[in-house]
Amino acid sequence: MNKLGAEFFGTFWLVLGGCGSAVLAAAFPDVGIGLLGVSLAFGLTVLTMAFAIGHISGCHLNPAVSLGLCAAGRFPVSQLPGYVIAQVAGGVAAAGVLYLVASGQAGFDLSGGFAANGFGEHSPGGYSLTAALITEVVMTAMFLVVILGATDSRSAATLAPIAIGLCLTLIHLISIPVTNTSVNPARSTAVAVFVGDWALAQLWLFWVAPLIGGVLGALVYRLIGSARPVGEQAT
């Protein structure tokens, strides 16, 4: 239960901090933080929570990460359902808090997107379904490669939160124009529940693509990470 609680509150923080920055601060008059600020906000949520709860639950905060860790042999499959439920619940709870705050402003309208992910006419840059699919698969796969490498026993694991947080920042800098960046089914589900309509209709992609990407990233790291470290002699 400690692990599930940590995943709930960690994902709560990710959605509140990341999506909150997009909804409340990205285009704030004169001093909006823009794409760069939103990207950094998502990275900071993971970085801070990795230090706060990494020693409790591993700080997955993402069903695609949990599945990828299973595929990499770093996480027991038996714990996967509980983690996914806790992550989605934490995300939805954060989206609820964000809705209460955002709706306190005159003229607030969910039709603005509420930081939901989308493709086609709902992509920030008008990118197609195919472009969105490729982007989400590749970005999630690279995220898993960084996570697995940074937390490898052969690496400087104490610095892993920094590498992982910066990786998520970079992912957002690349892909916000394409899909508004998901790479996390819990994050996508959280806001889609409130937007409804098109966001729920397109939500399937933001489960399928990150989950595929998570497994692919794990397989890639198993391929390259199982090699003998440089300088180690054969026995």
Q: Check whether 230 has a pLDDT greater than 70.
A: no
Residue with the two structure tokens 């714990």: 79
pLDDT at 96: 95
pLDDT at 32: 67
Reference 47, options 159, 131, 149, 203; nearest CA is: 159
Question: pTM score, two decimals?
Answer: 0.89
pLDDT at 234: 37
Task: Look at 35-39, 110-114, 141-145, 163-167 and tell me which has the smallest mean pLDDT.
Answer: 110-114
Q: Check whether 211 has a pLDDT greater than 70.
A: yes
125-146 as b/e, with b when 16 or more CB fall inside 10 Å? eebeeebbbebbbbbbbbbbbb
